Amino acid sequence: MKESKRWTPIRKGEIYCSPACGGDCTHAEFLKANRDAEALIKKCGKEVGGKWEKRVFENLGWHFEVSLVGGDLTVRQSGKTYSVSSHKYGSPAQVSTRLHSTSVKKVITTQLFSVKKEADRWNNYLVENTPPKLKLNSTKGKIFKR
């Protein structure tokens, strides 16, 4: 069996699980993960704005996360607790740690301030270490303006 087919869920009664998973995931869990993902999309949109998209996946059970479209923020929910992380390779957000809170807005704001702090640190390094003849202009204060 091809690897891609091993991760394609198969429905057998209440079981809706991929052969590679083997966790006896249920169709009810799959539907709940989709409903919860849609609710989190609405919550993120209401609290912080932007367009969000869901990803529902299985790993010994059905799970979900939502990501900012065109951005690098991914929010997960476990009960009433939210976590945020960044996944793009080379993203300045990779230096940030995973954060947990009962507020979507708080985890996203904390993540962005953490990234801004790191970006400012690198900006200062560039400004302080660029020889004058290279004429490298400072980007301080411009990085996060939209």
Residue 141 located in a structural domain: no
pTM confidence score: 0.74
Give the pLDDT of residue 110: 81
Residue 110 located in a structural domain: yes
Question: What count of other Cβ atoms lies within 10 Å of the Cβ of residue 8?
Answer: 11
* 109-125 residues labelled b (16+ CB within 10 A) or e (exposed): bbbbebbeeebeeebee
Residue 71 located in a structural domain: yes
Domain that holds residue 75: 3-134
Rounded to whole angstroms, the Cα distance separating 55 from 51 reads 14
Residue 139 located in a structural domain: no
Per-residue tens of pLDDT for the chain, all 146 residues: 676 688 899 999 999 999 999 899 999 999 999 999 999 999 999 999 999 999 999 999 999 999 999 887 888 898 888 888 776 655 555 544 466 788 888 888 887 777 777 777 777 777 777 776 666 555 554 443 33
Provide the number of structural domains found in the chain: 1
Residue 140 located in a structural domain: no
Cβ pair 6, 20 in contact under 8 A: yes
Cβ pair 139, 123 in contact under 8 A: yes
Give the pLDDT of residue 96: 45
Residue 102 located in a structural domain: yes
Give the pLDDT of residue 107: 84
Rounded to whole angstroms, the Cα distance separating 76 from 82 reads 6
Cβ pair 104, 111 in contact under 8 A: no
